[in-house]
Structure 1
């Protein structure tokens, strides 16, 4: 059994946390399974090697997809590639666990949809399994994308939409299909690790930025002119409350640049955390007094651990997440004033420990357990 963990990377800490969550379940259910990960700019060989993952050879460049050739290669040659160089092809993979998070929809290129459709259809034709783990999907409005997806998605063994909006986007394509389910983000089952250097967390409020908030993928233009102002207001509010603001870089250079901008605008003396271990990032979030967050998995890590969390949004996935955790009031708008921000943070602290919210956290953890049961049944 050879399982590809697709859509994974090591720069975005949320994406890497999903990798850990997947591997944890694979080891528990299929301890002898072999792992495969594809190369990409954010998934260097060294990081993949630490997980013992084989490297997937992809024969695709832009619109040209020649991965069908891998099925025509002699088995002896593919075996030699695997054992000599640690390289496997699409033909060697028995299961694809697609953990892309948010990679398919109008906010991304059509080439991704075309490649996805081809891979699903080839997988079905060769008796392999293709399973989408919970992720945000859609919207899908481009005619070419819809044509590809209508042919491919019904052939997937399992499609897990992460929330109602994504579910409806896919349902509009496949209809009432038995392969379509709705399950929450599954990193809520992963236990974080608190690093020794993070002390007095109960006196610290994390600010976790997201470069997408001021990028082209965000269709809420008001955020582009207000985002830095809101984060600076957040720093001032935290200090006024007698707490310590801390900047946490959840993904790479883009987010790091925003951290530096906020730091310089607020005096240049803020604590800035660049933690590379996603388990430690989750541990830091769990040990904090509160969080003001623009990264989806940062929000999940806070909400699922009962940490007060104000969020911002550039995609429907944030609105649905906060609705599910019964904390929609904690998703702030770009026009929010400093006083309103303080009131919202007070609300977040009240809701984090509310009886209904505690039940919601427990409910979604059980949902994630049910999801994994479904995955291994379908696989």
Structure 2
């Protein structure tokens, strides 16, 4: 059985972690399953996941996928190409791509222009847990209703996203609530990362600047450097983890320079290694959503800064919403609180209990997904 995975923006490490979660679960149930995606990124980014190539041969008005039938089978196999007709299940794991911030074209191009055709050809189409909304324009609302009518299941990752969907399409048994599904992936610590050295992990995110969640770049660097300095004043060893690309790396370097003392900076290509490293910290300070998921799902108390509703909903899921901060004073106060041993133990117990519950919810989500896949 071949599964197509949409919305995986390699080399986005959160997206790659979602892909790892999908492959882990599917292969545990269907050991000979194969996976495909459209080749929007360089081949070397995809090959380590064993992804077959689904060549996009369509435009807004025409579908040219029949042209692949002209290729001899030996070339199809040799170059790892998969035909659309051979795909049985389509997973959308976009994370957060459908809402006013992204525009209606993304929803239309990725799903809306094809969902009816997929339904007619008896493909299973499932939107795995992700954030949605808001949806303001009538054009967006119409496109959303079209998608919902043709897909099999949609999982909103948080209560706000769920309500955005229900407000537009009404109560629907296709739409369910389930948290981020990377929580079942076990991290692995790479050999080059020293164990038992660091106390606090800081994960920057340039989107905090791009999405105007902070006043400007300098104020964000000031925030991160102030937190690191507070930690150092308490005798804690801090490292910066670059979760994404060059912009985050530049932020990390500037933050370390602002602190004025040597701060180790790490970057890893494997998202499972990133999760493993995060799990070794005692406290995580993160502006990256999946940095937070990786911390909280492993019972690591965390301080969050964020740029959308998904951060508040995540922190609430783990019972630590008070540690979502929106100012330097609040951030420093939260860190001081977690550095108190008694408070730390209480917060960790809360996170651990909610983590167990959320993992059970993810298992139940996957059971429902495969019940639908195996139906009919």
TM-score (norm 1): 0.91
Counterpart position of 1:310:
303
CA separation of 1:27 and 1:340: change in aligned 2, threshold 3 A: same
2:351 counterpart of 1:357: yes
2:143 counterpart of 1:148: yes
CA separation of 1:182 and 1:37: change in aligned 2, threshold 3 A: same
Counterpart position of 1:24:
24
C-alpha displacement of 1:296:
0.5
C-alpha displacement of 1:198:
2.1
CA separation of 1:308 and 1:226: change in aligned 2, threshold 3 A: same
Counterpart position of 1:234:
227
CA separation of 1:331 and 1:75: change in aligned 2, threshold 3 A: same
* Alpha-carbon displacement from aligned partner over 1:310-347 (angstroms, at most 9, x marks no partner): 01010100000001100011111134267524334337
* Alpha-carbon displacement from aligned partner over 1:120-173 (angstroms, at most 9, x marks no partner): 222112111110111111111122111111112121101011010111111122
Pairing 1:11-50 to 2, within 5 Å after superposition: 11-41=11-41, 44-50=42-48
Q: Does the CA contact (< 8 Å) of 2:112 and 2:147 recur in 1?
A: yes
C-alpha displacement of 1:351:
4.3
* Alpha-carbon displacement from aligned partner over 1:177-210 (angstroms, at most 9, x marks no partner): 1111111111111111012222244633111011
Pairing 1:322-361 to 2, within 5 Å after superposition: 322-336=315-329, 339-346=332-339, 349-354=344-349, 356-361=350-355
Pairing 1:112-151 to 2, within 5 Å after superposition: 112-115=106-109, 116-151=111-146
2:294 counterpart of 1:275: no
Structure 1 gaps of 5+ residues are none
Counterpart position of 1:248:
241
Counterpart position of 1:367:
361
2:176 counterpart of 1:178: no
Which stretch shifts more, 106-115 or 365-374?
106-115
* Alpha-carbon displacement from aligned partner over 1:75-113 (angstroms, at most 9, x marks no partner): 464856522432234343221111111111111132101
Q: Does the CA contact (< 8 Å) of 2:301 and 2:351 recur in 1?
A: no
Matched pairs, number? 370
Structure 2 gaps of 5+ residues are none
CA distance in 1, matches of 2:152, 2:244: 31
Q: Does the CA contact (< 8 Å) of 1:202 and 1:287 recur in 2?
A: no
2:48 counterpart of 1:53: no
Counterpart position of 1:212:
207
Moved over 6 A (4+): none
CA distance in 1, matches of 2:100, 2:8: 20
Q: Does the CA contact (< 8 Å) of 1:205 and 1:246 recur in 2?
A: yes
CA separation of 1:246 and 1:68: change in aligned 2, threshold 3 A: same
C-alpha displacement of 1:353:
2.1
Q: Does the CA contact (< 8 Å) of 2:200 and 2:238 recur in 1?
A: yes
CA separation of 1:239 and 1:78: change in aligned 2, threshold 3 A: farther
- Of residues 149, 158, 163, the one that matches 2:158 is 163
CA distance in 2, matches of 1:224, 1:176: 42
CA distance in 1, matches of 2:100, 2:71: 39
CA separation of 1:21 and 1:74: change in aligned 2, threshold 3 A: closer
CA separation of 1:157 and 1:85: change in aligned 2, threshold 3 A: same
* Alpha-carbon displacement from aligned partner over 1:196-227 (angstroms, at most 9, x marks no partner): 22224463311101111000x34x45465632
Q: Does the CA contact (< 8 Å) of 1:322 and 1:331 recur in 2?
A: yes
- Of residues 290, 302, 308, the one that matches 1:297 is 290
C-alpha displacement of 1:241:
1.3
CA separation of 1:210 and 1:221: change in aligned 2, threshold 3 A: closer
CA separation of 1:239 and 1:148: change in aligned 2, threshold 3 A: same
CA distance in 2, matches of 1:375, 1:324: 22
CA distance in 2, matches of 1:156, 1:306: 35
Q: Does the CA contact (< 8 Å) of 1:202 and 1:289 recur in 2?
A: no
CA distance in 1, matches of 2:171, 2:82: 36
